Amino acid sequence: MARHKNIAHPQFVVVSPGRVNLLGEHVDYSNGIVLPAAIDRSVCITVRPIKEPFVRLQALDIKKQAIFGLADLEKKIMVNGEPMPNFVKYPAGVAWALQQAGFSLNGFEASYTSTIPMGAGLSSSAAVEVGFALVWKTLGNLAIEGMHLAQLCQKAENQYVGVNSGIMDQFACYFGVKDHALMFDTSDFTWQPVQLPEGTSIIIADSSVRRSLTTSGYNERRQDVEEAVCQLQIWFPQLKTLREISPAQFFEVKNRLSERPAKRAEHVVTEIARVQEAVPALERGDGKKFGELMAASHRSLRDLFECSTLELDTLVQIASSLPGCLGARLTGAGFGGCTVNLVETETSDNFIAELGKAYKQATGKTAQIYRCQASQGAHVL
């Protein structure tokens, strides 16, 4: 595969952001449309090229070091013969996926640190993957197009690390546009930036309940969606995914489906329609309408997809009552994790203080609350 002549680089820095999904939840495996944004919390990787075919890592936040070679990566062992710890598998998996695609890689030393909260559903792992992919792209002047880079990072996570994620996270980390959400069609990988309303901030509230994502809860819902497609094929024989059916068509036959698949499918079909409605609303600067669609999305995730929790519902309910909040909803897979709120920036200090206080009173739990802006995707400083 194409590889440009290697060029010498002095030390350089790569910044790779986390992401949050503003709308379009649990639709990616139905070829739906999602609306994520890269955020101004990121992984920062300082790189020094070396001649040897090794990667020396310093993970500053966890105070750990490791060295792995660029040969025999499928063995998942380090140069000292020990099995790779989990944090090493992310950059090593990216190297493995790039090599599988025919790219020749250079060695380097890297120290890195992150301002993305771990385990909060803000794609800290995708940020690491995309960041290291950009390191190798820069070092070797690799002729690799952005979407292919995102796909190889997804392959690393799926097949090397062993986490079954879609491509939205890596896509958003790489293609982020400052002050914009990204309308991303998972059926054909087309996308466009959509400006967020002026004078707004993205505020993420971590319920402090780690996902009991019960793989079972997630897998059960995927099975329900597949079952809904099977039942709908009685009336729509060509149907392969829920993306291919309109809300009007779905509601004509909804009552003939089994109860649970019908509820799951109603969420997916209406959520895709909400994203389609949200894009023109944002394009005309209608933050109020966008907030209403966020609220409708949360109700649907709570009542139809049934992946919310008492804590997430409490955060959304409190947020929705506060001045300056345009919209609030759970974000990510649900079953714990975070809510995302679109808030007028001038009220955001008060919003954060009041939300934290009221949540503590209602649940006894402390929410970690982060003010963010939509940010540029991964880049070399």
Does 1 fall in a domain?
Answer: no
Q: Is residue 347 part of a domain?
A: yes
Indicate the pLDDT class of residue 332, thresholds 50, 70 and 90: confident
Q: Does residue 169 have an active-site annotation?
A: yes
Domain extent for 169: 12-195
- 377 and 59 in contact (C-beta within 8 Å)? no
Question: Both 295 and 244 in a single domain?
Answer: yes
pLDDT tens track for 98-127: 999 999 999 999 999 999 987 777 889 999
Whether 249 and 350 share a structural domain: yes
Catalytic residue among 28, 40, 169, 206: 169
288 and 365, same structural domain?
yes
- Is residue 282 a part of any domain in this protein? yes
Report the alpha-carbon angle 178-185-286, nearest 5: 55
pLDDT band at 211 (very low <50, low <70, confident <90, very high): low
379 part of a folded domain: no
pLDDT of the residue at 6: 41
Pair (85, 186) in one structural domain: yes
Inside any domain, residue 5 = no
Residue 265 tokens, joined: 């499918």
* Judgement on whether residues 229 and 360 belong to the same structural domain of the protein: yes
Q: CATH number of the domain that 76 lies in?
A: 3.30.230.10
The residue whose two tokens read 């967020």 is 196
Which is more confident, 117 or 80? 80
Q: Per residue in 25-78, pLDDT tens?
A: 999 989 999 999 999 999 999 999 999 999 999 999 999 999 999 999 999 999
Q: Give the integer Cα–Cα distance in Å for 150 and 42.
A: 17
Task: Write the secondary structure of 212-259 as one string of H (helix), E (strand) and C (coil).
Answer: CCCHHHHHHHHHHHHHHHHHHCCCCCCCCCHHHCCHHHHHHHHHHCCH
Q: Find out whether 212 and 336 touch, Cβ atoms under 8 Å.
A: yes
Residues 215 and 95 in one domain: no
Residues 6+ apart with CB under 8 A from 44: 13, 14, 15, 112, 113, 114, 115
Q: What is the CATH number of the domain that holds 294?
A: 3.30.70.890
pTM of the model: 0.91
Token pair listed for 222:
């995927």
- Co-location of 209 and 86 in the same domain: no
